[in-house]
Amino acid sequence: MAFRYPGGKKYTGSAASQKGKSSPSLFGNRGMSLEHDLNETNQYYKAEGLAVIHKKPTPVQIVNVDYPKRSAAKITEAYFKQPSTTDYNGIYRGKYIDFEAKETRSKTSFPFGNIHAHQVEHMKQILHHKGIAFLIIRFSLLEETYLYDASHFIWWYTQQQQRKSIPKQHIEEKGHIIRVKYAPRLDYLETADNVYFS
């Protein structure tokens, strides 16, 4: 089946995966990607009855379907659509939580190019309705992960239009480091407790 990104570019997987080898970029921070860490953490939270937080599925537009027999359908071509909101949402301690998770290889800043304008607008709406919105930002080469409130990001994105990134120093000052542990792996709700519920 052929998947295509917006604009028509065909998705073929990474070069490393095509050769049957693992990409080194997937093995930062003790061997886990940020998405993998968060998904494992969310499973832990749910199993322990602490929170219900899910990764939103990436929308896919189906273009072609083959029907080799009446009882079966086979998707032969589809496009990844641009997500309309953020990566994760759910409920914790009676509050709606919504966040975007991003990794960067930069050691000095977080590029705005990682977030789309409609996602910023979505985070604004969450804050307007008194929900909790933030970004989880991982500096993968430094093995540091931060919870960074959406209000800070929105200010940089809307008020500092001459810039193309947020300095890491500001994320260190206004953000909150998330500890990597055994279980849960990336305990961002422990950090959220200190930021939003203390």
Over residues 155-174, the pLDDT tens digits come to 999 887 678 899 999 999 99
Catalogue all structural domains in the chain, each as residue range(s) with its CATH number: 31-57+84-196 (3.40.1350.10)
pLDDT attached to residue 25: 33
pLDDT attached to residue 85: 81
Q: Report the alpha-carbon distance of residue 24 to residue 21 in Å, rounded.
A: 9
Give per-10-residue mean pLDDT for the chain (198 aa). Answer: 50 41 35 84 96 82 75 73 80 96 95 88 95 97 96 90 88 96 93 95
pLDDT attached to residue 88: 94
pLDDT attached to residue 68: 75
Report residue 192 as tokens: 């959220």
pLDDT attached to residue 15: 38
Report residue 110 as tokens: 């977080």
pLDDT attached to residue 81: 66
pLDDT attached to residue 13: 47
